Structure 1
Amino acid sequence: MVRGKTEMKRIENATSRQVTFSKRRNGLLKKAFELSVLCDAEVGLIVFSPRGKLYEFSSSSMKNTIGRYMEHSIEDTSTTTLDQDTEQRKREAAVLAKKIEALEASKQKLLGEELESCSSSELHELEGKIEQSLRSIRARKYHLLKEQIAKLKVKESSLVKENALLHEKCKLLPQIPSAGSKEFPPRSTLGQQTEVETELRIGCPGKGTHGMSSHLYTNQ
């Protein structure tokens, strides 16, 4: 008698469903055992009944088998994630490379180079950008110059005040004659002379002599 093909859907009758579960479970456990023995494979089988009862089979140790499975799952996930990250980085690198290329071309045009491929409208737009940049640069330069001028004015005011203070201090100091304006005593005192009488005698001592006298004037 040929068995008919069983339709793969949930069995509505509870009794029939339980009988089918018991038969298929036992057959599944038997096949798992045969696979582990015939092929020397590490097999782990876990089945929960509709009521939550656990049925399991392990050719070695269920804990070791589950641990081994988890390691492989993590490796597979890591490899998949790494591949996805690599692809994402490649796409980002390609986008950045295009942006850099566009910026480099724009920079060359702003410098007045490689303008052969530009149309009249592009050149007009480029000219406007350059003029706007010049206005911004000049505005920034004038701002810095104003700040420097303001700082110099403050410094000038401080120096003027310090100079005035030094002048006031100099006025309070005693007057000291300079080296080029030394005071000398009057010429009348320097011109005082003392008359000294000297006498010159010619001849032997004790005899009459003819004397010559002269006057010397020495300064005292």
Structure 2
Amino acid sequence: MQESIARYRMHTEDAQTKNIPSDEQNIEQLKHETAAMMKKIELLEASKRKLLGENLGTCNIEELQQLERQLEHSVSNIRTKKMQVYKRQMDHLKEKGNALAAENASLTEKCKFEPERGADGDRANIQFAEISEVYDHVETDLFIGLPEARIRCLMFKN
């Protein structure tokens, strides 16, 4: 029985060590993945440069035509998106304009008043006359300078 248990433990330990990759294997795998990622990055950067119009001297006609198609497709997508944004803005501004027009109509209705005949109407006219008299005496001349100079100017005017 003891021998069976010992053999079982030995086989399970061997299986575990075979299934678990060693540190060296992990390092090699990570180096391989890193190299693959670096190649992808270099290809993407080269593609980006070509799309920006750089390093086109090495391209043949087919590559240039493919770049042109990609750029035309991208520009088309950008224009479509721009038109969608403009349409949303126009719709929003139309709604805002309609709301302002409705508010304007409402305020116009509130502010509309016909002069009433009678005691209240006369009182309103009297108050308006008093207010206009107050504003008739307001001096509206613009003067820049010291107050003393202003007094002298007023003396010469009179």
Q: TM-score, normalised by structure 1?
A: 0.45
Distance of aligned partners of 1:97 and 1:133 in 2 relative to their CA distance in 1, 3 Å threshold: same
Residue type matched to 2:130 in 1?
K
Residue type matched to 1:96 in 2?
M
2:129 aligned residue (181, 194, 205): 181
Q: What are structure 1's unaligned runs of at least 5 residues?
A: 1-55, 184-220
CA distance in 1, matches of 2:32, 2:41: 14
Aligned residues: 124
Q: Which has the higher helix share?
A: 2
Residue type matched to 2:20 in 1?
S
Q: Which residue of 1 aligns with 2:101?
A: 160
Q: TM-score, normalised by structure 2?
A: 0.60
Q: Does 1:78 align with 2:20?
A: yes
1:148-179 deviation line (CA, Å, top 9, x unaligned)? 00110001001110111112122369874586
Q: Per the alignment, in what secondary structure is the counterpart of residue 158 of structure 1?
A: helix
Distance of aligned partners of 1:134 and 1:63 in 2 relative to their CA distance in 1, 3 Å threshold: same
CA distance in 2, matches of 1:69, 1:81: 22
Residue type matched to 1:168 in 2?
E
Distance of aligned partners of 1:66 and 1:177 in 2 relative to their CA distance in 1, 3 Å threshold: farther
Percent identity of paired positions between Structure 1 and Structure 2: 36
Distance of aligned partners of 1:178 and 1:68 in 2 relative to their CA distance in 1, 3 Å threshold: farther
After TM superposition, the structure 1 = structure 2 runs for residues 38-53 of structure 1, keeping only pairs within 5 Å, are none
1:100 aligned residue (12, 16, 41): 41
1:75-110 deviation line (CA, Å, top 9, x unaligned)? 332136993x66555544443332222121111011
Computing the radius of gyration from Cα coordinates, the structure with the larger value is 1
